[in-house]
Amino acid sequence: MRNPVALLLCLFCAAVAFFVLGLNYFALYQLLPIAVFYVFQLTLFSKAKGTALLVCYVLAMLILLVFPMLAQLSWHFDLNGLATKSSTSGLLFVWLPVYALLPGIVPCLVALVIKSKSRK
């Protein structure tokens, strides 16, 4: 276990997903961005040195962990009528992992390029 803070943050985000959706298979789908972040954290960001890698790490954390967690909590607590003003508000949970993964992989790939160029 290289970074216990990242592990605790991932577990907290997973707990929020299960809190909002309950213990079911659909909640496991919401864990996809969390799992992707944790895999990249273990492989790429384990010993992040340099400003560029730290910026990529923070961006990946914000996009893959914080954004889905805040969206789920906003829906659960019906902030600004997010859950009740639309008949299709539940579709948020279908597209949320995709909306988090597509832009969230970009800082991870940039960090991969930076790390591979620094090895040379």
Contacts from 84-93 at CB under 8 Å and sequence distance 24+? Answer: 93/21, 93/26, 93/29, 93/30
Residue found under tokens 């290289």: 2
Q: What angle do CA 14, 106, 67 make, to 5 degrees?
A: 35
pLDDT in tens, the chain (120 residues): 467 888 899 999 999 999 998 988 888 999 999 999 999 998 888 776 789 989 999 999 999 999 999 999 999 999 999 889 888 888 999 999 999 999 999 999 999 999 888 876
pLDDT value at position 1? 43
pLDDT value at position 120? 67
Whole-angstrom distance, CA of residue 41 vs CA of residue 5:
11
Record the pTM.
Answer: 0.89
The domain ranges of the chain are: 4-119
